[in-house]
Amino acid sequence: MIDFQKYLSNLPPLHTWDGGNTWGTGGFKRKHLGPLIRYLRKNLPASPTILETGAGNSTISFLFLNPGRLISIDPVSKLHEKIRAYCETNGISTRGLEAFAEQSEWALPILASKMREGDGEVDFALIDGCHNWPSVFVDFYYCNHMLKKGGYIMLDDLQLHSVKELARLLSEQQQDFKLALDLDKSLVFQRVSESRNLPEWPRCNYILRKSKEYRQMSNWFAL
């Protein structure tokens, strides 16, 4: 079995279909995965339950944490096949990996419903699936619903407007979330309250601030 540092030194090109000529790692590099896994080793419980929308080198990295459950949702079934093949070749255990080859907006409500019925909670969730609008908010809604108090939620690809808006919302939702780790293109927030849903807009600082900006316009309702 290779260790985590050896794995980081030569990340497999999972998100390429032409032998590595285009888009090799799916965005995560050593400089992101190294600090992330070190942080999670220190702050997550033993055998954590991890959920991710999107799959790739994040999936393999999470396996080094020996998760009790690693729920990985990605509609590209070939990607999960690549992950399992790489792990088998390199002696990385995939015990606990639960792969769902479907869109997260269909898989997450089913998982959330099961967790409401006593099927455990999530210690850490990564939102890195479809980056369209409102997909990142749909992913957040269900991931937050399944997240235990004190659990962590990670947003990847802050260069995209949809993700940045969600990050701004959480950054100003101080009573429920606090920033735990800044990885440049990714942010990890910790939920510090019991609330599984964001409050209605009058108690949401970000919506209040933006709405106040709109009221300075000559037409409040203009786009």
Tens-digit pLDDT profile for residues 163-216: 999 999 999 977 899 999 999 999 999 999 998 888 898 989 999 999 999 999
DSSP assignment of 46-76 equals SS-EEEEES-SHHHHHHHTT--SEEEEE-S-
4-214: CATH architecture = 3-Layer(aba) Sandwich (3.40)
pTM of the model: 0.94
In the predicted structure, residue 116 carries a pLDDT above the cut 80? no
Element (H, E) at 181: strand 177-182
- pLDDT, average across residues 110-138: 91
186-191/147-156 β-pairing: antiparallel
Tell me the domain boundaries of the chain: 4-214
Using the Cα atoms of residue 42, residue 108, residue 128 and residue 171 in order, give the sign of their dihedral.
negative
Q: In sequence order, which residues have a C-beta less than 8 Å from that of residue 54 and are 6 or more positions away?
A: 26, 73, 74, 126, 127, 128, 129, 156
